[in-house]
């Protein structure tokens, strides 16, 4: 089962840090790529440089037309899950989603256009309280992969942490 992420509604500068967090979460929690619209180059550079240093095969794609991407995704047999506080509880649908081959997770910024709700096969709530699309994405991926992604080793990185009770221990390959 492969999960990709689509970030929509990014507002230049204002959302740079939040979008960077979302992309890093997508990578660390087991998604294979993120699609982003309207971002500043610094966002994709930061994410690519993290991926290079810390390993794995995460991809960053900057796209123009997110609706075209979603339609193509569905046409090829993939499923679309939109994370929204207005949707149905994640625990009620996650088992069904785990059986899919390819899932595209849509996360929005403050205002999400109506089309996202309509195009999605699933509108999924990570609780019905307002919080954060970064948190929603993390919990969704954690549920999808049953928490196993947190212990997975990502290959090919230069840096690797040795878990420690105090301070920082990092292995560096030169």
Residues near a second copy (CB under 8 A) are 14-15, 17-18, 21-22, 24-25, 27-29, 50, 54, 85-91, 114, 117-118, 122-123, 125-132, 134-135, 137-139, 142, 147, 149-151, 154, 160-161, 163-170
Q: Identify the bridge partners of residue 90 per DSSP, sorted by sequence position.
A: none
Identify any residues that bridge with 2 across adjacent strands, giving them in sequence order: 102
| Least gap, CB of 39 to a second copy (angstroms) | 15
- Minimum CB separation of residue 36 from a second copy in Å reads 15
Q: How many CB atoms lie within 10 A of CB 129?
A: 7
Q: CB-wise, 26 or 64, nearer to a second copy?
A: 26
CB of 43 to a second copy, least distance (A): 13
- What's the closest the beta carbon of residue 173 comes to a second copy, in angstroms? 15
Nearer to a second copy by Cβ, of 45 and 89: the residue is 89
Q: Which is nearer to a second copy, 114 or 174 (CB)?
A: 114
Helix axes 41-54, 16-28, angle to 10 degrees: 30
d(CA 103, CA 122) in angstroms, rounded, equals 10
Closest CB to a second copy among 64 and 158?
A: 158
Which CB atom, from 104 or from 133, has the smaller least distance to a second copy? 133
CB of 163 to a second copy, least distance (A): 5
């Amino acid at each position: 089962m492969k999960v990709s992420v689509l970030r929509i509604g990014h507002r230049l500068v204002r959302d740079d840090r939040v979008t960077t967090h979302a992309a890093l979460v997508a990578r660390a929690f087991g998604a294979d790529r993120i699609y982003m619209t309207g971002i500043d180059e610094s966002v994709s550079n930061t994410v690519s440089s993290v991926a290079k240093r810390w390993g794995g095969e995460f991809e960053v794609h900057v796209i123009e037309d997110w609706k075209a991407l979603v339609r193509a995704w569905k046409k090829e047999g993939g499923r679309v899950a939109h994370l929204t506080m207005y949707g149905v509880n994640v625990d009620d649908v996650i088992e069904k989603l785990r059986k899919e081959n390819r899932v595209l997770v849509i996360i929005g910024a403050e205002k999400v256009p109506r089309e996202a709700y309509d195009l999605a096969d699933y509108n999924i709530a990570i609780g019905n309280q307002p919080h954060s699309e970064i948190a929603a994405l993390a919990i969704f991926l954690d549920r999808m992969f049953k928490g196993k992604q947190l212990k997975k080793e990502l290959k090919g990185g230069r840096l690797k942490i040795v878990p420690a009770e105090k301070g920082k221990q990092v292995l560096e390959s030169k």
